[in-house]
Amino acid sequence: MIIVNGLKIYSDIDPVLISFGSIKIHYYSFAYIFGLLIIPYYVNRDYLKSKELTDKFSTYIVLCVILCARLFYVLFYNFSYYINNSLLDIFKTWEGGMSFHGGLIGFILGVYLFSKKYDKRFFAITDICAVITPLCLGIGRIMNFINGELYGRPTDQTWGVMFSTDNTMLLRHPSQLYQSFFEGFILFFIMLYLKKQTNLGKKEGYLSLIFVSLYAIFRFFIEFFRNPDEQLGLFFNLLTMGQVLCIAMILFISSYLTFTKIIKKT
């Protein structure tokens, strides 16, 4: 439930969507389910055109995304906790702890392995996903808001939100909604426009590179409103881990473009 008291917004939404006895389905699960349904659907419709291949594609993606998203979170966001506690906790993905940057690498790895195995064009698949993925991200960030997690830094702005999951009970930026709007829905419409209204959609690889670049830029600036991970704090008293990884994404894209340009010239 969201309560507006004067200019103060208090968020206390039950993160459980449906429960059957001890089995609970959280709102955040909806974002994963949505992504796992819609992305393979469009990949099949626009390129694979084979239910059997699409099922195999889904298997590659699910396994690689979950594995890499979890490993990135463990290694870059909470390494000391897992080293000092039971290593078996690494496998408890249902308790939370996934990294988008790791998930992105897992997705790229999954598409690469699938493309090599079944002789498919890598960028033909990633370009389709580059248009649809922001929509999934937008929904996912709304689910973060409902869960009362990944909230923003303290603020005195009138739209500040007090989360029931925050022990400090301070008004905070609803950074999950900022991310949902820019990294999700705005980016979705940009990618859709580029695909439908420009020639970029006809050049394999361009949409994929644009998606990664724009995501990194949006995420980098919104991170200034997002509360740093408690166990990490800020690097150089300025940057969050998310921003460091976004810089790495931009450097990778720049290096890739430079390398391919050199290859074409030679």
Annotated binding residues, written as ranges, equal 141
Residue type for position 67: L
DSSP-H helix ranges across the chain: 27-43, 51-72, 79-84, 100-118, 122-147, 175-179, 187-197, 206-222, 241-265
Q: Are 207 and 191 in contact (CB under 8 A)?
A: yes
- Rounded CA-CA distance 157/8 in Å is 9
- Rounded CA-CA distance 261/266 in Å is 9
What is the distance of C-alpha 128 from the center of its chain?
A: 16
Phi, psi angle pair for 12, to nearest 5°? -140, 65
- Give bridge partners of residue 172 from the DSSP assignment: 154, 161
SS3 164: coil
Q: Tell the residue number behind the tokens 């931009």, with chain if given.
A: 250
